[in-house]
Structure 1
Amino acid sequence: RLPAYNRFGLVGHAFFAPGVLAFGDFDGYIDAAVSLDYEIIRNASVYLGYRQVRVDVDDAPGSDLRDSSPVIGLRLQF
């Protein structure tokens, strides 16, 4: 949460898996996101952000599967 705005928060995450830990024919995996959220009640918030996912494939050098797009959602904690 941001100090002066107790209902607003800034959230970020990044996950990385090298080839030895990736599954199937994948050389690696990266998932990263950043979002701004607003707490509507004590254990629920809505968020708006951006996310990027990249998967490197063994058999096709130079080509990787990507998804990068804005995201919107509801986060519940219990």
Structure 2
Amino acid sequence: MGLLAFGEKLAQGSRTEAGLGGKLYYASVSNEDVLALGLGGQFRFFPNDGLIGVSGYLFYAPDVVTAMDGKKFWEAGARVEFEIVKKTANIYLGYRKVQADLDNNARVTVDSGTHAGVRIVF
């Protein structure tokens, strides 16, 4: 679950969007539970203000906002997007990696790999 504040700019015919915000995470891995509030942002770029664009995002939770059995938590990813309805709905194909550092000094991968999805903005 998350919340992002976005802004957009049209320059030299291409659309750029950027946002900052946070995501609340809960994960159970290796018999350990992690609760984290990741702070970060997302960047999207649509060349020639077209329907196909690329995006990337990063959210990081240091130890001060990571609880239970976790010390740190982060998620990063990149996507190729196709807008079905301009600025409102798109489908995407991407790659993401989610990792947590645990209190027992282990680093575990929560999720890693390709994913596809639908994004709707309202």
TM-score band by shorter chain is: 0.7 to 0.9
Q: CA deviation at 1:75?
A: 0.4
What percentage of residue pairs aligned between the two structures are identical? Answer: 33
RMSD of Structure 2 on Structure 1 (CA): 1.4
TM-score (norm: length of structure 1) = 0.87
User: Residue type of the partner of 2:90?
Assistant: S
Structure richer in strand, relative to its length: 2
How many Å separate the matches in 1 of 2:70 and 2:63? 6
Q: CA deviation at 1:4?
A: 3.2
Q: Name stretches of at least 5 consecutive residues in structure 2 with no aligned partner.
A: 1-44
Structure richer in helix, relative to its length: 2
Higher relative contact order (CA 8 A, sep 6+): 1
Q: Name stretches of at least 5 consecutive residues in structure 1 with no aligned partner.
A: none
- Pick aligned residue for 2:60 from 16, 21, 27: 16
Q: CA deviation at 1:5?
A: 6.1
User: Residue type of the partner of 2:98?
Assistant: V
TM-score (norm: length of structure 2) = 0.58
